[in-house]
Amino acid sequence: MTLNRRDLLAAMAALAAVGPARAQDLPRLLCLGDSLTAGYGLPQEQGLVPQLSQFLHQAGRPAQLINAGISGDTTYGGRVRIGLSIRRNAPDAVIVELGGNDMLRKFDPLKSEQNLDAILTTAREGDRPVLLVGIHAPAGDADWRREWTQIWARLANRHGTLLLQDLYAPIAALPSDQRGPLLQDDGIHPSALGVQRIVQHLGPAAAQLVAQTA
């Protein structure tokens, strides 16, 4: 599935055409995350949430996606704001994508896991479906990276959530000299093309999440 501006605009027009009543019937997905979710450095329509919305529409699982991504946010920040985000938006399901900034700042994985545990506890209230999105651990101490790698499955099992182990897998799997077009100049955030690759990886799990709201 190729995502481009023309297809995205067409999908937005099609969604608008269903009318307010039917649009309101779509499941509401709260996307809690950091700059990756927020769409840092990209035109609005090329960010992760709009492109994921497009994927779900084309996959026959349309949903209202609420972008609750904040650039620079950490798992602690997500822990602080998850309750208010739930109350304000009344989502039918939640995607949690946090931890990248904790890693970049070399936070203790145990403390970050505690924050994510609290986030998932709140998100899962009332048996609300949740998709936990893991992040590829950057280069560093082997034991530290191993601890981070093990967090995601442990939390997903504990809370009974869906899991995408590594959001960056489609990019991380490539040789470093082939990643350039998929990343912005900072070498961290995905370009619009990189987001397309990521959404192809994330989309099926998000579609499964939407299915759980039925």
Q: Per the structure block, which two tokens stand in for 39? A: 């769409």
List the catalytic residue out of 34, 35, 57, 191.
35
Residue 51 burial class via C-beta count within 10 angstroms: exposed 0-12, middle 13-18, buried 19 and up: buried
List the catalytic residue out of 92, 112, 189, 191.
189
Closest of 146, 153, 167 to residue 52, by C-alpha: 167
65 bridge partner residues: 29
Instruction: Please say if 136 is a catalytic residue.
Output: no
Question: Rounded distance, CA 161 to CA 124, Å?
Answer: 8
List the catalytic residue out of 127, 141, 143, 186.
186
Do 3 and 199 form a contact (C-beta atoms < 8 A)?
yes
Do 132 and 163 form a contact (C-beta atoms < 8 A)?
yes
Instruction: Please say if 71 is a catalytic residue.
Output: no
Q: Which residues are catalytic?
A: 35, 186, 189
